[in-house]
Amino acid sequence: MAEYKLPKDFFENNLIRPYSTPQFFLVTQVIEGHEELNSKVKKLIAQFDEELTAKDEAQLRLIEETNDPAALVDLMRKNLRVPNMGTYIGKVLTYQSECLPLLLKRYLTSGHDGFIEASARVLAVADESYVRQLQEMYGRIRNPYARAFACLVFGQRGMKDMLAFLVGEYENFKRNYIGEGFEQFPLAAIYLLNGKPII
């Protein structure tokens, strides 16, 4: 099968919307994965909001004390905070053979934004076999926000074989979810797969 080629003027005619959710998501991922940046964010929060700092510390303790895979997946519904996400993802990856099948099963039907977003963060770095499972089950994912985030994950994982599919989903979201911004997710994935800056 011939490799799919984008029209020459694709990026010129399909710009990433400034301050889109995928942009914000990718920026926070950089912070989560960078120990020094994450530490600076924590210090900044501590200077301005002691109550929030206390909540972050309590959440971090909960993550560190949770070892049951089902309970770890349940934590995704607790609106995990950016300063704690790196620790959380590390913990889930320690138990990924138990956690990821549970995560994918829930991803099919979840409408909880926090769960969807946390799942995407985990899938962006999990073993590739789980991302391929996400690809296989894509058509059965009920929530359009979850489908949109799955598209972004495909781009983050460098799945060039998904380029034609992502263009199709970009058009589908533009046509069927006007004003929701879901089309920005496959568009960001297309940018990532082509080495184009989105921020």
Dist CA 120 CA 146 (whole Å): 9
**What is the full per-residue pLDDT of the chain (199 aa) written as tens digits?**
568 889 999 999 999 999 899 988 887 776 655 566 555 555 655 566 577 678 888 888 999 999 999 999 999 998 888 888 889 999 999 999 999 999 999 999 999 999 999 999 999 999 999 999 999 999 999 999 999 999 999 999 999 999 999 999 999 999 999 999 999 999 999 999 999 988 7
Whether residue 90 lies inside any domain: the answer is yes
**The total number of residues written for the chain in this structure:** 199
Q: Residue 127: give the domain boundaries.
A: 10-193
Q: Is the dihedral of CA 197, 184, 38, 86 positive or negative?
A: negative
Whether residue 84 lies inside any domain: the answer is yes
> In total, how many domains does the chain have?
1
7 exposure class (CB count in 10 Å sphere: 0-12, 13-18, 19+): exposed
Whether residue 198 lies inside any domain: the answer is no
Whether residue 147 lies inside any domain: the answer is yes
Nearest to 186 by CA among 30, 12, 162, 6: 162
Whether residue 140 lies inside any domain: the answer is yes
Asked if residue 199 lies in contact with residue 27, where contact means CB atoms within 8 angstroms, the answer is yes
Cβ neighbours of residue 33 closer than 8 Å, sequence gap 6 or more = 86
pTM for the complete prediction? 0.89
pLDDT, position 55: 85
Whether residue 33 lies inside any domain: the answer is yes
Dist CA 136 CA 129 (whole Å): 11
Whether residue 3 lies inside any domain: the answer is no
Whether residue 75 lies inside any domain: the answer is yes
For residue 78, the one-letter residue type is K
Largest Cα separation within the chain, whole Å, is 58
DSSP code of residue 80: -
Q: What's the per-residue H, E or C state across 25-69? A: HHHHHHHHCCHHHHHHHHHHHHHHCHHHHHHHHHHHHHHHHCCCH
